[in-house]
Amino acid sequence: MIQQAGNLIPPFLKEGDKVALVSPCYRLDPVKFASAVEFLRGWNLEPVVYPNPDRQYKGPYAGSPAERLAELEAAFRDPQTRAVICSRGGYGGIQLLPVLPPDLFRSDPKWLVGFSDITNFLAASLRQGVASVHGPMGSTFGDDPVSDTALRDLLFGKLPRYTIPADPRNCHGTASGILVGGNMTSLIPLLSTPWDPIIGDTVLYIEEIGETLHHIDRMWNTIALHGALEHVKAVIVGSYTESVTDIGFESAEEVIGNYADSLGIPVIYGFPAGHTKKNLPLLYGGKVTVVSGLEEASVLF
């Protein structure tokens, strides 16, 4: 098992491994759930589906908090299962944090995969010292073959090295740290709690969907007020999808740049990850180097 900057990298997958498809937040449409199962079989993996994948609670939830926690714990306690892939996000992860066993992710490290509200669990895994994957999950499998292939490569042992054209808004430079962050709405409540992932030298990745610009402004300032920016050595700005313009800025990126550009650290805009078809997987809790140049920007694990 590999260790990077104190965080364990779970054993990489091999063909024939069992992988659990779990729903710790909202419920995934049964047809899409079945499609995700077949998608994983196409990778020559053996999907494990827990009882009642059609379970529904209080509208969109995939079961009560106790049921969702039991499913998540069963997947991580199963010694035969080598990865736990979330079916979708939505909301509900934060409900489980106070009752997560303190050794759930560490006792038998295995890959946890997801994004959006799954940010809660990625952060919790990091605080238990285990890296995970911010990337495609059951609800988005098949949306972008490039992202899907990159996820499979990562899980099977090929760490990502991305190079994209430089965005004219980028702040140039080179910096290294542990990649943390995720969906801003899910990340902000974790600050200064036992699940806060922004500790030590970090590269902060952020993304969002459907938020007003004034709320994005508030969330950035909340990060600053908690003193978290003192740990940030570079910022990767992912996709800000369906942002609602309600203040005198043209975009979420302009709101973020109003603050981030004065930090004196590398800032990369337009990285293709988040709530968008192209959602390149990132090693959450892994050591990463960010290189922002005049012609291109690189994110190297």
Residues tagged active-site: 116, 207, 275
Contact 183, 207 (CB under 8 A): yes
Give the residue from 26, 23, 91, 19 showing the smallest Cα distance to 52. 23
Contact 168, 202 (CB under 8 A): no
Q: Is the dihedral of CA 250, 254, 259, 261 positive or negative?
A: negative
**What is the spatial distance between Cα 155 and Cα 157, in angstroms, rounded to a whole number?**
6
**What is the spatial distance between Cα 148 and Cα 190, in angstroms, rounded to a whole number?**
29
The secondary element (H helix, E strand) that includes residue 163 is strand 161-165
